[in-house]
Amino acid sequence: MEFMGEFYRDSAVVRHLNSNFLVFIPKIRNPSSLKDYRTIILVGAAYKILAKVLANRLKKVMDKVISPNHMAFVKGRQIMDSFVIANKVIYSWKNDGKGGLLVKLDFEKAYDSVDHSFLLEVFKKMGFGAKWIDWIKWCISSPSLLILVNGCPTKEFSIERGLR
Protein backbone atom coordinates (compact mmCIF):
# COMPACT_ATOMS: atom_id res chain seq x y z
CA MET A 1 0.00 0.00 0.00
CA GLU A 2 3.05 2.24 -0.24
CA PHE A 3 1.73 3.54 -3.57
CA MET A 4 -1.20 5.19 -1.75
CA GLY A 5 1.16 7.39 0.27
CA GLU A 6 3.11 8.19 -2.88
CA PHE A 7 -0.10 9.11 -4.69
CA TYR A 8 -1.29 11.33 -1.81
CA ARG A 9 2.06 13.11 -1.63
CA ASP A 10 2.93 13.39 -5.35
CA SER A 11 -0.50 13.14 -7.05
CA ALA A 12 1.02 10.40 -9.20
CA VAL A 13 2.45 6.90 -8.99
CA VAL A 14 4.48 4.68 -11.26
CA ARG A 15 2.91 4.89 -14.72
CA HIS A 16 2.47 1.13 -15.15
CA LEU A 17 -0.07 1.13 -12.29
CA ASN A 18 -2.45 2.82 -14.71
CA SER A 19 -1.90 0.38 -17.59
CA ASN A 20 -4.90 -1.60 -18.77
CA PHE A 21 -5.59 -4.47 -21.14
CA LEU A 22 -8.36 -4.34 -23.73
CA VAL A 23 -9.76 -7.79 -24.46
CA PHE A 24 -12.21 -8.80 -27.17
CA ILE A 25 -14.71 -11.47 -26.12
CA PRO A 26 -16.69 -13.14 -28.94
CA LYS A 27 -20.48 -12.73 -28.66
CA ILE A 28 -21.12 -15.52 -31.16
CA ARG A 29 -19.42 -18.77 -32.11
CA ASN A 30 -17.70 -17.60 -35.34
CA PRO A 31 -17.23 -13.84 -35.17
CA SER A 32 -16.53 -12.11 -38.49
CA SER A 33 -16.56 -8.39 -37.58
CA LEU A 34 -15.85 -6.16 -34.59
CA LYS A 35 -19.60 -5.97 -33.88
CA ASP A 36 -19.43 -9.66 -33.02
CA TYR A 37 -17.18 -8.93 -30.04
CA ARG A 38 -17.77 -7.47 -26.60
CA THR A 39 -14.88 -5.46 -25.21
CA ILE A 40 -13.74 -5.41 -21.63
CA ILE A 41 -10.89 -3.51 -20.05
CA LEU A 42 -8.84 -5.32 -17.44
CA VAL A 43 -7.72 -2.85 -14.78
CA GLY A 44 -4.98 -3.57 -12.25
CA ALA A 45 -5.80 -4.17 -8.59
CA ALA A 46 -3.69 -1.23 -7.35
CA TYR A 47 -5.58 1.22 -9.57
CA LYS A 48 -8.91 -0.28 -8.46
CA ILE A 49 -7.98 0.33 -4.81
CA LEU A 50 -6.94 3.89 -5.58
CA ALA A 51 -10.13 4.57 -7.56
CA LYS A 52 -12.27 3.12 -4.75
CA VAL A 53 -10.60 5.39 -2.17
CA LEU A 54 -11.23 8.45 -4.36
CA ALA A 55 -14.82 7.36 -5.09
CA ASN A 56 -15.53 6.97 -1.39
CA ARG A 57 -14.20 10.46 -0.72
CA LEU A 58 -16.30 11.87 -3.57
CA LYS A 59 -19.45 10.15 -2.27
CA LYS A 60 -19.33 12.38 0.80
CA VAL A 61 -19.99 15.51 -1.28
CA MET A 62 -22.05 14.18 -4.20
CA ASP A 63 -25.34 15.48 -2.83
CA LYS A 64 -23.79 18.96 -2.54
CA VAL A 65 -22.22 19.17 -6.01
CA ILE A 66 -24.85 17.33 -8.06
CA SER A 67 -28.06 19.21 -8.81
CA PRO A 68 -31.21 17.94 -7.05
CA ASN A 69 -32.67 17.53 -10.55
CA HIS A 70 -30.04 14.95 -11.45
CA MET A 71 -31.23 11.54 -10.37
CA ALA A 72 -28.32 9.20 -11.04
CA PHE A 73 -25.09 8.55 -9.09
CA VAL A 74 -26.26 10.00 -5.77
CA LYS A 75 -27.22 7.85 -2.80
CA GLY A 76 -30.94 8.06 -2.13
CA ARG A 77 -31.80 9.07 -5.70
CA GLN A 78 -32.87 6.70 -8.43
CA ILE A 79 -32.91 7.13 -12.19
CA MET A 80 -36.53 5.95 -12.22
CA ASP A 81 -37.51 9.09 -10.29
CA SER A 82 -37.04 11.03 -13.54
CA PHE A 83 -39.71 8.96 -15.25
CA VAL A 84 -42.12 9.44 -12.36
CA ILE A 85 -41.60 13.22 -12.49
CA ALA A 86 -42.08 13.28 -16.27
CA ASN A 87 -45.33 11.31 -15.94
CA LYS A 88 -46.59 13.71 -13.25
CA VAL A 89 -45.80 16.72 -15.46
CA ILE A 90 -47.62 15.20 -18.45
CA TYR A 91 -50.60 14.26 -16.26
CA SER A 92 -50.72 17.80 -14.86
CA TRP A 93 -50.61 19.33 -18.34
CA LYS A 94 -53.48 17.13 -19.50
CA ASN A 95 -55.61 17.90 -16.44
CA ASP A 96 -55.00 21.65 -16.65
CA GLY A 97 -55.53 21.73 -20.41
CA LYS A 98 -52.03 23.10 -20.90
CA GLY A 99 -49.45 22.02 -23.41
CA GLY A 100 -45.76 21.61 -23.02
CA LEU A 101 -42.63 20.14 -24.45
CA LEU A 102 -40.44 17.43 -22.98
CA VAL A 103 -37.06 16.58 -24.45
CA LYS A 104 -35.16 13.40 -23.70
CA LEU A 105 -31.50 13.39 -24.60
CA ASP A 106 -29.41 10.25 -24.64
CA PHE A 107 -25.75 10.41 -25.56
CA GLU A 108 -24.60 7.07 -26.88
CA LYS A 109 -21.37 6.05 -25.20
CA ALA A 110 -21.31 9.37 -23.34
CA TYR A 111 -18.43 8.37 -21.07
CA ASP A 112 -16.29 7.55 -24.11
CA SER A 113 -16.42 11.15 -25.32
CA VAL A 114 -15.66 13.08 -22.11
CA ASP A 115 -13.01 15.73 -22.70
CA HIS A 116 -10.48 15.55 -19.85
CA SER A 117 -9.69 19.28 -19.71
CA PHE A 118 -13.41 20.10 -19.57
CA LEU A 119 -13.93 17.68 -16.67
CA LEU A 120 -11.02 19.17 -14.74
CA GLU A 121 -12.39 22.67 -15.33
CA VAL A 122 -15.79 21.55 -13.97
CA PHE A 123 -14.11 20.27 -10.79
CA LYS A 124 -12.33 23.63 -10.47
CA LYS A 125 -15.56 25.63 -10.95
CA MET A 126 -17.31 23.45 -8.36
CA GLY A 127 -14.71 24.45 -5.79
CA PHE A 128 -12.63 21.28 -5.56
CA GLY A 129 -9.07 21.89 -4.36
CA ALA A 130 -5.92 21.72 -6.44
CA LYS A 131 -4.80 18.44 -4.78
CA TRP A 132 -8.10 16.71 -5.66
CA ILE A 133 -7.96 18.00 -9.23
CA ASP A 134 -4.35 16.74 -9.55
CA TRP A 135 -5.45 13.30 -8.33
CA ILE A 136 -8.30 13.15 -10.84
CA LYS A 137 -6.04 14.47 -13.58
CA TRP A 138 -3.58 11.63 -12.97
CA CYS A 139 -6.39 9.06 -12.98
CA ILE A 140 -7.90 10.21 -16.27
CA SER A 141 -4.82 11.47 -18.10
CA SER A 142 -2.24 8.79 -17.38
CA PRO A 143 -4.00 5.56 -18.37
CA SER A 144 -2.49 3.53 -21.13
CA LEU A 145 -3.91 0.60 -23.00
CA LEU A 146 -2.53 -2.58 -24.44
CA ILE A 147 -4.77 -4.70 -26.65
CA LEU A 148 -4.57 -8.42 -26.09
CA VAL A 149 -4.57 -10.22 -29.42
CA ASN A 150 -4.57 -14.00 -29.07
CA GLY A 151 -3.23 -13.51 -25.55
CA CYS A 152 -0.31 -11.32 -26.64
CA PRO A 153 -0.24 -7.59 -25.77
CA THR A 154 0.25 -4.94 -28.44
CA LYS A 155 2.42 -1.88 -27.97
CA GLU A 156 1.14 0.39 -25.20
CA PHE A 157 -0.66 3.61 -26.19
CA SER A 158 -2.29 6.49 -24.28
CA ILE A 159 -6.03 6.99 -23.84
CA GLU A 160 -6.81 10.56 -24.90
CA ARG A 161 -10.58 10.80 -24.22
CA GLY A 162 -13.26 9.14 -22.20
CA LEU A 163 -13.53 7.67 -18.74
CA ARG A 164 -13.22 4.15 -17.40
Cβ neighbours of 136 (radius 10 Å)? 18
What is the C-alpha separation between 99 and 75, in angstroms, rounded?
Answer: 33
Helix (H, G, I), strand (E, B) or coil at 144: strand
For residue 52, the one-letter residue type is K
% helix, strand, coil for the chain, step of 5: 50, 15, 35
The answer to whether the beta carbons of residues 158 and 18 sit under 8 Å apart is no
pLDDT digit string (tens) for the chain, length 164 residues: 787 888 888 877 776 788 899 999 999 999 999 999 999 999 988 889 999 999 999 999 988 888 888 887 778 888 888 888 889 999 999 999 988 888 877 776 777 778 889 999 999 999 999 999 999 998 888 788 999 988 899 998 887 776 66
The answer to whether the predicted template modeling score (pTM) of the entire model surpasses 0.95 is no
Helix (H, G, I), strand (E, B) or coil at 73: coil
